[in-house]
């Protein structure tokens, strides 16, 4: 089995940490694992040393915008998670919000503002319109991206211009939302044989009041409650919202929906992640543990399901590798072996 981690996005460090956690969990569950980066040697390596399936632990564009998944699909390589088309939609926050809102799920009112429009129409005039429509406070974030890079809460008019500059540093389009006060939760889903299952919600309480990059990945800066401190009705509603998002966007394998439960009980969808973090401070592993499940077993089951969708991949890849010069598939750097893994069956 192969875990893909690293990449060249802002989120490389988080991806490497996720990859280490995933590989350790799978090894603990009795599986052989190799962790590979996404570079020019990846496809030749997978062709020469085919595994049963790939787990994508890449965060940011390469792992979540559908591009890598499209290439894996072209190569016929099975992988865990949503397909390229669904991932592309989920990656685009405004597009995902529009699709989810059309399905009847509440989401904060928003404006998606490209940098070119902001510049050409005049920053002052555009910001005045935004403030008159959405009011204060506001939440700014890149329209595409993860790990809360560039996410900024704006409480005063004076803070807004600088916050826009900060958000545009991470993307050409900024998503500007009305800030919703309430209980922030993350709901992870995993696909089981009988359909997607919502795991216990994680309640997120950052010391700073904003769940930004530092709050997510610095131990001690955020307090987590799993399960979330919600009454039965609210807990059922956040699970229902996450399941609706998963199905509406045609996601598969696993996903994590982030939402706010307002004081009136309304659940507001914020965004969805098709490659949830797996670090020591990530929410999906917390939910798995609270559900009484073993992370390695859960991920191994997802890999078996992915492999079962195309059981002929390894034989096809092996035939193609046999017809290619051996040096074409050599790993860069010091020589090392890549285990050709046969994942055990569910009863194995």
Exactly one of 23, 82, 87, 147 is catalytic; name it.
147
Q: Which two tokens stand for residue 48?
A: 């020469």
Say if residue 177 is preceded by a cis peptide, omega within 30 of 0.
Answer: no
**Residue 217 catalytic?**
yes
**Residue 147 catalytic?**
yes
Contact 58, 6 (CB under 8 A): yes
Exactly one of 83, 277, 296, 300 is catalytic; name it.
277
Angle, vertex CA 17, rays to CA 12 and CA 23, nearest 5: 120
Spacing of C-alpha 233 from chain mean position: 27
Spacing of C-alpha 295 from chain mean position: 17
Exactly one of 177, 184, 212, 258 is catalytic; name it.
258
Exactly one of 217, 253, 301, 304 is catalytic; name it.
217
The sheet with strand 110-114 has its strands ordered as 110-114, 173-178, 138-142, 152-154
Exactly one of 184, 191, 271, 301 is catalytic; name it.
271
**Residue 73 catalytic?**
no
Q: Which two tokens stand for residue 39?
A: 């570079």
Contact 139, 81 (CB under 8 A): no
Q: What are phi and psi of 148, to 5 degrees?
A: 65, 20
Exactly one of 17, 21, 88, 256 is catalytic; name it.
256
**Residue 271 catalytic?**
yes
**Residue 119 catalytic?**
no
Q: How far apart are CA 64 and CA 89, in angstroms?
A: 10
Exactly one of 252, 273, 282, 287 is catalytic; name it.
273
Q: Which of 106, 92, 82 is nearest to 246 (CA)?
A: 82
Q: How far apart are CA 274 and CA 97, in angstroms?
A: 15
Exactly one of 11, 34, 64, 184 is catalytic; name it.
11
What torsion, rounded to 10 degrees, do the Cα atoms 165, 168, 174, 177 define?
A: -40
Q: What is the CA radius of gyration of the chain?
A: 21
Please list the active-site residues.
11, 147, 217, 256, 258, 271, 273, 277
């Amino acid at each position: 089995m192969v875990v893909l981690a690293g990449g060249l996005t802002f989120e490389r460090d988080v991806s490497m940490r996720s990859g280490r956690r995933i590989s350790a969990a799978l090894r603990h569950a009795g599986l052989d694992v190799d962790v590979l980066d996404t570079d020019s040697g990846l496809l030749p390596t997978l062709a020469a040393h085919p595994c049963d399936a790939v787990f994508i632990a890449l965060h940011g564009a390469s792992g979540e915008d559908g591009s890598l998944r499209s290439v894996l699909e072209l190569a016929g390589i099975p992988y865990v998670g949503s397909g390229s088309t669904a991932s592309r939609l989920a990656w685009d926050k405004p597009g995902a919000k529009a699709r989810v809102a059309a399905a009847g799920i509440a989401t904060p009112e928003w404006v998606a503002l490209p940098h070119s429009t902001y510049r050409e129409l005049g920053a002052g005039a555009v910001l005045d319109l935004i403030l008159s429509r959405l009011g204060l406070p506001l939440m700014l974030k890149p329209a595409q991206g993860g790990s809360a890079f560039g996410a900024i809460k704006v409480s005063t008019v004076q803070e807004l211009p600088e916050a826009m500059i900060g958000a545009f540093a991470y993307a050409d389009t900024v998503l500007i939302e009305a800030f919703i006060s309430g209980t922030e939760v993350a709901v992870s889903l995993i696909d089981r044989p009988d359909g997607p299952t919502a795991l216990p919600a994680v309640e997120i309480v950052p010391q700073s009041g904003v769940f930004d990059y530092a709050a997510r990945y610095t131990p001690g800066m955020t307090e987590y409650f799993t399960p979330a401190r919600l009454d039965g009705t609210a807990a059922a509603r956040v699970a229902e919202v996450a399941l609706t998002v998963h199905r509406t966007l045609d996601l598969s394998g696993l996903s994590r929906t982030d939402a706010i439960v307002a004081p009136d009980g309304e659940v507001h969808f914020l965004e969805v992640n098709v490659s949830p973090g797996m670090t020591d401070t990530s929410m999906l592993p917390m939910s798995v543990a609270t559900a009484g499940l073993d992370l390695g077993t859960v991920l191994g089951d997802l890999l078996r399901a992915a492999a079962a969708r195309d059981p002929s991949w390894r034989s096809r890849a092996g035939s193609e590798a046999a017809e290619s010069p051996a040096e074409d598939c050599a790993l860069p750097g010091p020589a090392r072996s890549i285990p050709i893994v046969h994942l055990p069956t569910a009863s194995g």
